[in-house]
Structures are given as structure tokens and as C-alpha cells.
Amino acid sequence: NAGVTQTPKFQVLKTGQSMTLQCAQDMNHNSMYWYRQDPGMGLRLIYYSASEGTTDKGEVPNGYNVSRLNKREFSLRLESAAPSQTSVYFCASSEQANTDTQYFGPGTRLTVL
């Protein structure tokens, strides 16, 4: 099993450009999450999907949109990137929402110039 996979691993954008970060899991988990990690801030939740067909805002949702494409895939879109969105983005999944072990992908390092 690959676990949780993310693409791309690295990305550089100019201010105003858009992009989509992809995440997939092969553990048949119901719930998926997107976090961002900034220096000294720990991880902060952007959006999560408790189950296929549902999405909910986390702590820092502004400037992002998400799509739960199917049970396996959960994408994060930046419509108009800003330098404040420079961060490392992690996708995670768990059996049930917010109640059990979360498994993380390798992360995407995004720089917005």
C-alpha cells in the first residue's frame, strides 16, 4: 500500500496564478484533510472531508477551495495565489472524522513569489 500520496512535491507560483494540489489514499478511509505548516506555527487545518460528498472548513480556509472527487481523492485549489500562501501543505486521512489516527502524505512545498 502506498498510503497517502500527494502531487506535486514542489511548486513555485507567481502571485495571482492558480493551481490544484492532489491527494489520494488507498486505505479505504472515509475522512480526508488538508493542513498547512508554517515555521513556528505547527499544523493548521484548512479543510476536511468527513465522508465522500461532504466538506467542512477548518481553522484557515480563506483563499482555498476543496473537492472530494471520490472516496480516494481530495484536492485543494488555490484560485489566486498570494505570498501568504507560501507553506508546506499536508494531506491526511483517517477511518473516521477527527476520532482516530490520522495518516499523513509526504507534503507539497509551495512558494508563491
Partner 1 sequence: GIQVEQSPPDLILQEGANSTLRCNFSDSVNNLQWFHQNPWGQLINLFYIPSGTKQNGRLSATTVATERYSLLYISSSQTTDSGVYFCAANQAGTALIFGKGTTLSVSS
Positions touching partner 1 (CB under 8 A) are 40-45, 48, 58-59, 88, 90, 92, 98-104, 106-107
Give the 3-state secondary structure percentages of the chain, helix then strand then coil, rounded to 5. 5, 50, 45
Based on CB atoms, which residue is closest to partner 1, 7 or 15?
Answer: 7
In the block, cell 506555527 appears at 41
Q: How far is the CB of 106 from partner 1 (least distance, A)?
A: 6
Q: How far apart are CA 22 and CA 9, in angstroms?
A: 10
Q: How far apart are CA 54 and CA 69, in angstroms?
A: 10
Based on CB atoms, which residue is closest to partner 1, 14 or 39?
Answer: 39
Q: How far is the CB of 92 from partner 1 (least distance, A)?
A: 8
Q: How far is the CB of 58 from partner 1 (least distance, A)?
A: 5
